[in-house]
């Protein structure tokens, strides 16, 4: 009943509104197993725009006026695009038309080849890697893995200056005991503004130093001097427990570049696989006389 009241109020709206109402009624009344006939809303020459091609036409809460404006705007844009396309096709020189055909054929060829290569890699490329294979690559290619940045394994804590029992936190953070780390995590969960335990992962010193209220001018000197560092400003206390570090231009630790090595090996396999696929198809064509040289 509410729908019919709204329909009566919109009887004077333009043709687009009437189309909306008709299609809403047809959609509501059609049987689930029936296929509703497509409804044309506009035509430009031989090009037809159907109602079901207009995206997200009716949204919940939209007024008839909003829906009408949306449809009219979409139709106008569609019509302008089709009209300029028709005009362009009628007036393009043969040279430009030939260039378009050539580009379309090249694009289609590239897409077909790409999808075929992708399909073959998904079906046949071996992506498994052993630890030994990864370690061997690291050992024989050490020069590729010099560090561009200083990296650390560290614990970072930021606390409000009024946090109670800061000495306990200092003691737990410097400890290597599991029970102390559990105490620290529990305490920091209650009071810390930020708590990052990087002990299991290497991170760049840049990532760590950006958390401090002032810059570290000489990172190399800093890392050589400190295993524990603490500073503060008017609102917070900052603590760093440095467990390990590597300096820039030195050999990167294996666990820091492990994932990079896996990507390198996989990319190498992809390249070799595609080369083999291409050569195999080429040789098969020669053998079967599909490809001939004159």
Give the CA radius of gyration of the chain.
Answer: 34
Residues 6+ away with beta carbon under 8 Å from 237:
158, 159, 160, 161, 163, 166, 230, 231
Return the pLDDT at 1. 39
**Tokens representing residue 269 in the block:** 């396999």
Q: Within 10 Å of residue 166's Cβ, how many Cβ atoms? A: 15
49 sits in the region (left: phi over 0; alpha: psi -120 to 50; else beta) called beta
**Angle, CA 243 vertex, CA 218 and CA 255 arms, to 5°:** 95
206, 149 Cβ separation under 8 angstroms: yes
Walk along the chain (294 residues) and give the pLDDT tens digit of each residue: 334 444 444 444 456 556 655 555 555 555 444 455 788 889 998 899 998 888 765 555 667 777 788 888 889 999 999 999 999 999 999 999 999 999 999 999 999 999 999 999 999 999 999 999 999 999 999 999 999 999 999 999 999 999 999 999 999 999 989 999 999 999 999 999 999 987 678 999 999 999 999 989 899 999 999 999 999 999 999 999 999 999 999 999 999 999 999 999 999 999 999 999 999 999 999 888 888 777
Return the pLDDT at 117. 97
**Tokens representing residue 225 in the block:** 């001097």
Return the pLDDT at 11. 43
- What domains, with CATH codes, occur in the chain? 2-91 (no CATH), 147-246 (3.10.50)
Return the pLDDT at 29. 54
**Which residues make beta-bridge pairs with 146?**
251
**Tens digit of pLDDT for each residue in 164-179?**
999 999 999 999 899 9
**Tokens representing residue 129 in the block:** 């890697």
Q: How far apart are CA 257 and CA 84, in angstroms?
A: 54
Q: Given CA atoms 285, 289, 290, 294 in this order, what sign does their dihedral have?
A: positive
Phi, psi (deg, nearest 5) at residue 248: -55, 150
**pTM score, whole prediction:** 0.70
**Tens digit of pLDDT for each residue in 250-287?**
999 999 999 999 999 999 999 999 999 999 999 999 88
């Amino acid at each position: 009943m509410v729908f019919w009241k709204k329909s009566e109020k919109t009887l004077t709206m333009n043709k687009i509104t009437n189309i909306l109402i008709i299609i809403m009624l047809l959609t509501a009344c059609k049987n689930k197993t029936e296929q509703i006939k497509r409804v044309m809303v506009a035509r430009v020459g031989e090009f037809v725009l159907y109602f079901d091609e207009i995206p997200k036409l009716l949204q919940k809460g939209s007024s008839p006026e909003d829906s009408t404006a949306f449809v009219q705007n979409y139709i106008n844009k569609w019509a302008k695009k089709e009209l300029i396309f028709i005009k362009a096709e009628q007036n393009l020189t043969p040279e430009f038309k030939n260039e378009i055909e050539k580009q379309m054929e090249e694009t289609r060829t590239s897409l077909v080849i790409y999808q075929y290569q992708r399909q073959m890699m998904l079906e046949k490329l071996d992506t498994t890697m052993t630890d030994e294979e990864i370690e061997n690559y690291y050992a024989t290619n050490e020069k590729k893995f010099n560090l561009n940045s200083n990296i650390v394994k560290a614990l970072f804590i930021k606390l409000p200056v009024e946090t109670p029992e800061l000495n306990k936190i200092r003691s737990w953070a410097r400890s290597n005991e599991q029970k102390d780390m559990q105490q620290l995590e529990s305490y920091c969960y209650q009071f810390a503004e930020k708590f990052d335990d990087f002990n299991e992962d290497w991170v760049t010193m840049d990532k760590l130093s950006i958390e401090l209220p002032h810059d570290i001018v000489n990172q190399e000197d800093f890392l050589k001097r400190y295993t524990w560092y603490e500073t503060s400003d008017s609102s917070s206390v900052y603590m760093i427990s440095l467990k390990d570090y590597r300096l820039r231009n030195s050999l990167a630790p294996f666990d820091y570049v492990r994932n990079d090595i896996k990507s390198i090996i996989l990319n190498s396999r992809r390249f070799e696989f595609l080369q083999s696929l291409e050569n195999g198809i080429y040789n098969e064509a020669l053998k079967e006389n599909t490809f001939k040289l004159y």
